Structures are given as C-alpha cells and as structure tokens.
Structure 1
Amino acid sequence: MQTFMPAMKRCNLWGLGNQTRATVAVLALLAFGWGFDYASGAQKFETSIDNNQPIRNPGGHAATFSTQGFVVLTGEYFQAQGTNGRSCASCHIPPDAWSINPGTLQRLFDETEGTHPVFNPVDANNPTTADFSTVEGRRAAYSMLLTHGVFRRGGALKAEPREWDLIAVVDPHGFANLTRLVHWRRAMPTINFAVGSATVNWDGGNTMGTPPDQRAGLINQARRNVNGVQMGPLLAIDDPIITDIVDFESSLSTAQLIVPGVGRLDSDGVRGGPEALAFMPKFEGRFDLYDAWAGHKNPRRAQIARGQELFNNTNRGGRRCGACHSSANNGTNFNNLLFDIGTASAAAATPDLTLHTFRNRATGQIRQLTDAGRGNVTGLWNDLGKFKTPTVRALAARAPYFHNGIAATLEDVVRHYETHLGFIFTDEERADLVAFLNAL
C-alpha cells in the first residue's frame, strides 16, 4: 500500500482525544486510508500535513492547501477549550474535508465504545432514548449521529416578534414540543472562506454585521462553539485562542485533487485542486476550472467538462445550479443569500427527523418542515426552511449531503433537485453532472 507518512511531522498532542492535553487520544494519520487508532496518550501522531497532501475518499483523493505554508495540527483549533474534551477538530477533521462523516463516527464509536468526546449529550444524542450505561445503550442514544452524521440543534423558539407560530410537532425521539424545536444538522466544513460566503452556519445564526462581515461571524461562531458544545468559557472577541482558531480555518482551502481514470485535477490546463483555489479572487461568475478539458480525448475528462457546463447553464426545467452557487469556482452564494431548496420539506423528510407544523399569523398558511432554518433566527415567515449555500468543493470527501444528511450520494443530490425543484436531466446528463461534482 502506498503511504504518504514521510510527508508529515510527528508530535504527541492532539485535541481529539481524552479530556486533557497530556492524555489526549490519538489520531494516527495512516497510509492512504487515514485510518484511526485511538489508544493511550503516550503514543505519537502527526502534527502537520504538507500542502496538497492527497487524502483518500470514495471519489478519489482530496487535499488541503494552507496559506500558512502547511496545515498545522497542533493549534487552538485542535485543543479542548472546555470541560468535555471536545475541540473544533472533534467534529471537523482533515480526512472528511473538515467535516465529519458517519463512517468516521462509526469507527470512533467502535474504537472507544462510544466514549470519544464527539459523543456527548450536549448535542449528539437522541435525548429521551439516551442510555449511557452500556455500549449498546450509547449506540442507540447516538444513532442519528452514527447513521446520518448529524448533530442536534434547535432549542427555544425565536423570541418575539415572530410572523409564525409552532402549532404541532411530531418527534420520533420524543424531545421536541411546542416550545422547543429539534433540528438535525451536519457539521459544515470549515474551509474555503477566502472565496466563500460571509453567512456563518447553516441558518446564518452566527452572521455578524450589515452587510455581513465574515471574520466577525467566524469569531462569533468560535466563541459560541467554545462556550457551547465544548462547555468552556465565553472568551473575549480578541482572545488569542479565538484569533488562532479563526486564523487557522481562514487559511484552509480544500478540494478534490485526484480522480481515478482522470488523474490530477490541477494539470493539463485545468485548475482544480486546493492550491489554485487558495489564490483565486472572489467574484460572482461561472465555474471555469475544466474549460480546457472540453472535448478531451480522455472520455472521463470530457465528461467532467460537460458536467461543468450543465452546472453553469440554465436547465431545460428553467433552473440553474449557478443561480444559488454563484461564487465562481467555490459555489457559495456571492451575495450571502440563503435559500429554501426543499431539504427541510415534509416531502423530503426521513422518518427519523422531527416534523414541525408552522402557521403564518397573518394568513393562516401552514407549512410542515423538519427544520425552521433561517426562520428561527429572524422570525420571518419567508425565511422558514432557508439555509446557507455551502461550498461545493471537496464534496466527494463529505457525504452525506445537505444540512440534514438526507442525500447519501452525489447522484441523490442531483435527483433531489429534479424531484423538488424541477430540474430535468437525462441519464447521461445526470452522470456528467455527478462526475463534475465529484471532481470539485
């Protein structure tokens, strides 16, 4: 098996393990597969990753490029700031494009019998079914995290004024009620901020300023993360810990680098991969990464170029991916807008999601949603079910997709848009679009 270990540096601290820095558990960045080996704090592990270091995923290999010169894995982002052993990196890890996926979570659970810090009742369990006394009890308690990679969010209804009332709740876990929302959300990847939206979090709940100030929002998010899910102090805006966290995540660009049968995505005239992304200007426009592969003699390269054009152009159904994913070559929304794409609709709901019934106070209109989205931040009826448009880079490394993990594959993502938003694709076009998304 090929190994990339010589490209990495060694140390003995990592904030993903137990509750103190001296006894943290170990993330062993193993050959090619990036397997996990959580054992005693006496073991050694890596402290940095070289820029453009390939990391395997189901669609090939992704990589990260840091403007700091290499990806340092020992800063405050990786240290537990609170009392429960969690760090930012407990839920945002390099192999999963700085998110965390069900396969990783299942591995962590098996290797620690469900005691890794990511498994914490502050936001990871199904509350009323929680039994932490046995391994199988913990497995059942954390089933949403293990199967969908989603964390519990929500909480109290937005304070007045509001344009809507919550009039009914169906929660398979028995926790939500008419005063308490339960939303299940994936960990957003902490990458590509330099060309990304200034909207922070799925519902924009940590966004700061008008117009939004991205750094202020990231500072707000980091402070609330330390104080909330890490159960630590509320640090000052200019605290060196917060500054270090935000500087680190702001330095990261992550993207797919290699696709089998295609080769490197930053060669032969194209501009895929993370390094090119790190130095691209932020502007509103089309994806042009793979223009040079249009009509390429390698059919898989030509397919990626065709998929790029499908993404850029108006579909036969009158829809266009780039209408929302408008930040060129990154795919967040250039104007920081949030959208309702039906991912929280009753029609798209899976049986293990909470279904909330909302009523418009002025019109009496009814909506059923598994997540209030932006609407529980602003209180506005038209914001219900709206979410941030995330980066579409490094998608292959971070399934499942959408805010609630309802799409298991990239093909499922495309089919969701066909079913719920009126896109129309032939089988060949769908395959082309999936090939493009996999190459991002």
Structure 2
Amino acid sequence: MIRGIALATAGILFAAVTFAKAPAEKDPWWNPDEGRVFPASLDYPNANGTLRLLLDNGPMDTKDHPFFTAIGPNGRACVTCHQPADAMSLSAASARRQWERNGAKDPLFAASDGSNCPSLPQADAASHSLLIDHGLIRIARPWPVRDPMGKPIEADFTIEVVRDPSTCNLDPKYGLKTAGMISVFRRPRPVANFKYIEAMGFAYDPKAGMPLPVDPETGKPVSGNLMADGRVPSLRAQMRDAAGTHLAFLKTLDAQDMERILDFERRIYVAQQADATGGALDADGAKGGPRMLQVSEAGRLGSDGGIPVWSEFEAWEKMPEAQKAKLPPEVRAFRESVARGARVFREKTFLISDSAGINSPIGFGNPVRNSCVFCHNMSYMGMDVAPGQVDLGTTNQPFADPAPHLPLFRITCTGKPHPHYGRTILTSDPSFALTTGKCADVGRITLQTMRGLSARAPYFSNGSAKDLRGVIDYYERRYNIGYTEQEKQDLVNLMRAL
C-alpha cells in the first residue's frame, strides 16, 4: 500500500500534503467474469487526482456475482457500462481505449446499443462513433408511448425525424416508421451512492404538483430520481429494463440475482478522494471524499435545516492564516478556490427562465431568481431532493449546443402549445415526454449526482459538455448569469473535487 503521494505543480516537487491510498487495480477496466475481489476501499487515478470507492462490509468476491457476470449472448455484464474507475459510470475515454484494444469484439460495442445502429457495419469505428467519441449509449424508446406495464399512452404531440446521422431513426428495420422505435443517445448514469438517489425528500412531486410516482410492484412511492427519462420507478424495474435491452439477457433475472445486485449497488459509495493540486480532500478539517457519503444521513435539503451544500470545504476557507502559511502556495490557492466555488454555487443568484419543471407547470414564477442550489440542493450530493425532471435546454433548440452528430426531431404539440417553446420544438432527445406522452415534458431530464465528476467526462445526459468548464459555460450562456472568470474557475475546481 502506498502511504503518500508527492505532488508536482508548476515544476515544483513537494510532499507536504499526503494521503493514504487504497489498492489500485493494475488494469482499471473490469471485464465480465474476471472474478476479481472488490475490496472495501479502491482507488483509481484520473486527470484531476484520485477517485475512491468504498464498499460497505467489503471486500466482496465478484465470481459468479450477477453484477459482474455475463449472462446474455452479447457478453456484457452490468459492470461493462458501470466501471469502478469511471465512478460506476462510463467515460468516453474508457470507451475509446476499449475500442483501440479490442474493436467491435469487445462486449461494450454490442450492436444493439453500443453502435449508432445495429444495421451498420459493426467492424467500422464510424459505426460506434457516438460511444467512442461521446460516451453515448443508444436508447430505443417505443412510439407510440407506452407506460411501464406496456400499455399505449395517447400522446399530445407528433414526432418527425429531421436529421438522422446515426441512421437508426430512418432505418428500414429499426426506425420510427417501421419498428415504431425512437433512438436517442445518452450517458450511462452512475450506479453508486444510492442511499441518496433513492431518498425521498418530499411527499409529492413539487415540479408537477402531483403525488410521487408509485412502484406498481410494492404500491409504495418512489423517489423518481433513477433514470434520465423517468421510465422506471425502482431499481428492480431498472434491472429488468437493462437486462432486456443493454444486456440482451435470454432469461429474466431471478429474485436472488436481483437481490444480490441491489445489495451491491446500495453498498457502494464513490467520490473524488484527492486532488492532484490540493491533496487529500478530507485534510485539514475538510470533509470531502466518499467517507462522508458513507456515514451521513441521506435526503436532506441543504437550505432547509440540512447541511449546506458543499459546506464540506468550509474549513479550508476558515483555516487560520498561520496554518495556511505552512501549505505550499499551490495547495493553498486550490483549496481557497474550492471553498469560494462552494459559496458561489450556493449564493450567486441569477434569473432562471423558460425551464419546465421550474417555471412550469405549477411554477415558481417565470423568471425566478435563485442560485445553483435551487435544483442541486441535497447535502453532500448536489442532486435534487425533490423528485421529477427539469428542462435545462441541453437537448432543445434554441438553447442546446450544436450537436450535428445527434438526431434531431421535430415535435408538434397537438393539444396545448408548450409553455416555453410554442407549438413546435426541435430537440435531440424528447426525454421525459417519451415516458409521459406530454408535449410539455419535451426535454425534461432527471438531475443526477455530481459526485465523481472527474472520472466520468463528458457531462449532461447527451454528453454535450466535454469538460467541467463546458458545464459552467453552458449555464452561463443559458441563463446569462454573469460569472467572472475567477468564479468560473472556482466552480470548476469545486466540481473536480467532488
């Protein structure tokens, strides 16, 4: 075990900041059926420092464990798209590395959803460009819209394919007109920190003024914070959805398999543990890293009696000057930047406008003045305590960044016009509307955890922000916030420390 790390910054080698490192795997990629032991603590280096995973009651033998075992014919397991080194998600860099290693024979690039379309020549890298270059998995949604039980829902909009660079939406076998399927492309969501993701901070959905969704299996309300488009109510339903689509399982997961997967997913915590410049994120009074996630109460609203969001780093700002003076200048500057970024995140307000889930349907006013914590409000996690989906404009024109590699759909409302876009909407992903059949839900997407960001670029559901600065720049353009250059860098440093 390595007990310390020497940090090189601006050409100066120093070892004043040290941190204990957990064992790191020689090869960060986990193939199905390897039978590795998943330790209680596991570290992976990344461009910004070190990611750490903690497993309650670990270590765990993964031999024959259903999360790590290929059950279906495409050779995939759950771990294929939820890699430990990528914060239990999948980075575009990892996808590219696997292509360079194995090409199309790697299970990650299974034709069903690891390629732009199954009909394309699978040996060509161009047929997998959305996964290799952007870390995107193909999601095929039925049209007409169906509920979780498979019953058709009468939609109040029509959909037309305007642009189809993946070729799948106009494909004669897999396309919209022939197969009744709409292909959209999304980033895999992290499978970790579920104590927070499943937590219910409200007894209703304040974004819609409606009761919480109910799990039809248990009859109990659920958090609604699992999938980007809210298409499944629970982790069990998510497992069945993934088994039949991404994993192509020939058999239904039995109850024992599902319980073992649930047990693992609910025991794993992940966050950045150390920064390449700032050192250990739980040093000198700070409470960064995954340990705080592991031991803290979940589901608290930071602005309502809970711990203020990202207050884990307040100690760095309040450190006595004499103590700060003992730190290398680069370490001190980075830590002060992170603490400032946390305050900017909480305190800098701006006008939020034309965002469904915020300004409508029940609405807080349009515009409404608030800060980042209006939506990213859960202590220690930065996700939304309130369930439901929000349209930030990342997939809808005119707000979305140019994405010629993604499909483009024309949505035409047949009932009421959309409250912010009017009767016609151009979008690369209708998202929640493909679950509800409501035009007002076009582009609404479930917010996700902000932990482990350094390990899993690119960002947003469609991968439109290639790096953390791209996330800040998008929000600046979308809401005309007026961040200074220092504030932007402070926010980037905060996010890389999560």
- Shorter-chain TM-score: what band? 0.7 to 0.9
Alignment partner of 1:56 out of 45, 48, 54: 45
Contact conserved, 1:222 with 1:242, CA < 8 A, in 2?
A: yes
Q: CA deviation at 1:37?
A: 9.6
Alpha-carbon shift at residue 196 of structure 1 (Å): 1.9
Residue of structure 2 aligned with 1:305, choices 329, 333, 339: 339
| 2:139 aligned counterpart, secondary structure | strand
Separation in 1, partners of 2:182, 2:488: 36
How large is the RMSD of aligned CA atoms in angstroms?
Answer: 2.8
Q: Does 1:336 align with 2:370?
A: no
Residue type at the aligned position of 2:192: I
Quote the residue 1:258 is aligned against.
274
Deviation at 1:114, TM superposition (A): 2.4
CA distance in 1, matches of 2:22, 2:480: 47
**In structure 2, what residue type is equivalent to 1:219?**
R
Q: What secondary structure, in the 3-state scheme, does the structure 1 residue paired with 2:248 have? A: coil
| CA contact 1:164–1:379 (8 Å) conserved in 2 | yes
1:11-410 correspondence to structure 2 within 5 Å: 29-30=25-26, 34-36=27-29, 46-51=36-41, 53-70=42-59, 72-74=61-63, 75-127=65-117, 130-132=120-122, 134=123, 137=124, 139-157=125-143, 158=145, 159-177=152-170, 179=177, 180-197=181-198, 208=215, 211-212=221-222, 217-235=234-252, 239-282=255-298, 283-285=300-302, 286-287=308-309, 288-296=311-319, 297=324, 298-317=332-351, 318-346=369-397, 347-363=400-416, 365-410=423-468
Percent identity, please.
27
Which range moved further: 372-381 or 223-232? 223-232
Q: Relative to structure 1, is the Cα distance of residues 119 and 207 closer, same or farther in structure 2, using a 3 angstrom cutoff?
A: farther
Deviations 1:377-407 (A, max 9, x none): 0111221101111000111110000101110
8 Å Cα contact 2:214-2:221 kept in structure 1? no
Per-residue CA deviations over 1:241-262 (Å, capped at 9, x if unaligned) read 1111111011111001001221
Check 1:413–1:376 CA distance in 2 against 1; reply closer, same or farther (3 A cut). Answer: same
C-alpha displacement of 1:88: 0.2
Structure 2 residue matching 1:183: 3-state secondary structure: strand
Deviates more, 1:207-216 or 1:164-173: 207-216
Aligned position for 1:203: none
Distance 1:146 1:2, change over 3 A: farther
1:54 partner SS: strand
User: Is this contact kept in 2: 1:375–1:385, CA < 8 A?
Assistant: yes
For residues 118-159 of structure 1, the C-alpha deviation after alignment (integer angstroms, 9 at most, x for no partner) is 111111112277213x4xx2x121111100010111332213
Aligned partner of residue 175 in structure 1, secondary structure: coil
Structure 2 unaligned segments of length 5 or more: list them.
5-20, 146-151, 171-175, 201-212, 227-232, 303-307, 325-331, 352-368, 418-422
State how far apart, in whole Å, the 1-side matches of 2:30 and 2:223 are.
Answer: 39
Give the superposition deviation at 1:335.
Answer: 1.4
Q: Which has the larger radius of gyration?
A: 2
Q: Does the CA-based 8 Å contact 2:138-2:184 persist in structure 1? A: yes
Counterpart in the other structure of 2:206: none
Q: CA 1:36 to 1:213, structure 2 compared with 1: closer, same or farther past 3 Å? A: closer
Structure 2 CA distance for partners of 1:379 and 1:319, relative to 1, 3 Å:
same
Residue of structure 2 equivalent to 1:14? none
Name the structure 1 match of 2:9.
Answer: none
Give the Å deviation of 1:328: 1.2
Q: Which amino acid aligns with 1:212?
A: V
Deviation at 1:292, TM superposition (A): 1.0
| Bigger Cα displacement from structure 2, 71-80 vs 322-331 | 71-80
Instruction: Check conservation: 2:28, 2:85, Cα contact below 8 A.
Output: no
Contact 1:49-1:73 at 8 Å conserved across structures: no
Between 1:140-149 and 1:165-174, the stretch displaced more is: 165-174
Q: Secondary structure at the match of 2:105?
A: coil
TM-score, length of structure 1 as denominator length:
0.84
Q: Label 1:38 to 1:81 Cα distance change in 2 as closer, same or farther (>3 A).
A: closer
Contact 2:82 2:90 in 1 (8 A): yes
| Aligned-partner Cα distance in 2 for 1:413–1:62 | 20
- Give 1:47 deviation, angstroms: 1.8
Give structure 1 stretches of 5+ with no counterpart.
Answer: 9-27, 200-205
Aligned residue identity for 1:175: C
User: Kindly tell me: are residues 370 and 289 of structure 1, through their superposed partners in 2, closer, same or farther at Cα, counting changes over 3 Å?
Assistant: same
Q: Structure 1: which 4+ aligned runs deviate by more than 3 Å? A: 1-4, 34-39, 70-74, 177-180, 206-210, 213-216, 316-319
- Output one character per residue of 1:204-230: Cα deviation in whole Å (capped at 9) or x when no partner: xx9836631579600111122122221
